[in-house]
Amino acid sequence: KAGVTQTPRYLIKTRGQQVTLSCSPISGHRSVSWYQQTPGQGLQFLFEYFSETQRNKGNFPGRFSGRQFSNSRSEMNVSTLELGDSALYLCASSSGTDPYEQYFGPGTRLTVT
Amino acid sequence: GEDVEQSLFLSVREGDSSVINCTYTDSSSTYLYWYKQEPGAGLQLLTYIFSNMDMKQDQRLTVLLNKKDKHLSLRIADTQTGDSAIYFCAESTGSSASKIIFGSGTRLSIRP
């Protein structure tokens, strides 16, 4: 079974731009969660999508948004990029039911200059 | 509120047991998890425990849960150099328990 894939793996953007990251979950998984990982703040939950609906969200500004398609692939968008958005963005795939065993992708490293 | 705390570093001699501790605040958490992250890699789920259990053992790993004190620990028996990594404790919360909150991670280093 193929693992979780994230594209692109690395991205450099400038302040004010917007970016879209993509995540393809494990086949059959209906839940995709997104996390931001930084040295200062650690791993922070952004949001979770299940069957195309946002089911949970963390405490991030509205500049961070996401969506999920009917094939369970998910995209995350960040608008009006700030320097502080530089981070490793991880997505995790799960069946969406207890016990929420999550399988993580390798991440997208975003650098904002 | 939701908060998960861990100590940042742990150094253990090869062959000894490692014990990584974690405290959490959400008493309604249904599952608690341990993840491992090796350098340059994503997170790997090691094990999890349901909140109505006290202990779970899986080969070299033992998870202990003290629900009254909201304390979780991961014991790694016979620690090997390949166990060097960052270990994250996490709790499930949210309306459907699918919101996972992670601790800051404990960096485990192994001494020869």
Position B28 confidence tier, pLDDT thresholds 50, 70, 90:
confident
Q: Compute the nearest-CA separation of A15 from chain B (Å).
A: 26
Model pLDDT, residue A86:
97
Q: Do residues A74 and A35 make contact, with C-beta atoms less than 8 angstroms apart?
A: no
pLDDT in tens, A65-109: 999 999 999 999 999 999 999 999 999 999 887 777 899 999 999
Q: Do residues A80 and A18 make contact, with C-beta atoms less than 8 angstroms apart?
A: yes
Among A76, A82, A9, A14, residue whose Cα is nearest residue A45: A76
Position B94 confidence tier, pLDDT thresholds 50, 70, 90:
low
Position B97 confidence tier, pLDDT thresholds 50, 70, 90:
low
CA–CA separation, B85 vs B38, rounded Å? 5
pLDDT of A113 above 60: yes
Q: Chain-wide mean pLDDT for chain B? A: 90
> Which of the residue ranges A52-56, B23-27, B50-54 has the most confident prediction, judged by mean pLDDT?
A52-56
- A-chain residues near B32 (CB < 8 A): none
pLDDT in tens, A18-48: 999 999 999 999 999 999 999 888 899 999 9
- B-chain residues near A4 (CB < 8 A): 42
Model pLDDT, residue A111:
98
Nearest by CB to residue A42, choosing from B30, B96, B104, is B104
Residues 70-89 of A with CB under 8 A from B: none
Nearest chain B residue to A49, by CA: B98
- A-chain residues near B43 (CB < 8 A): 43, 90, 92, 102, 104
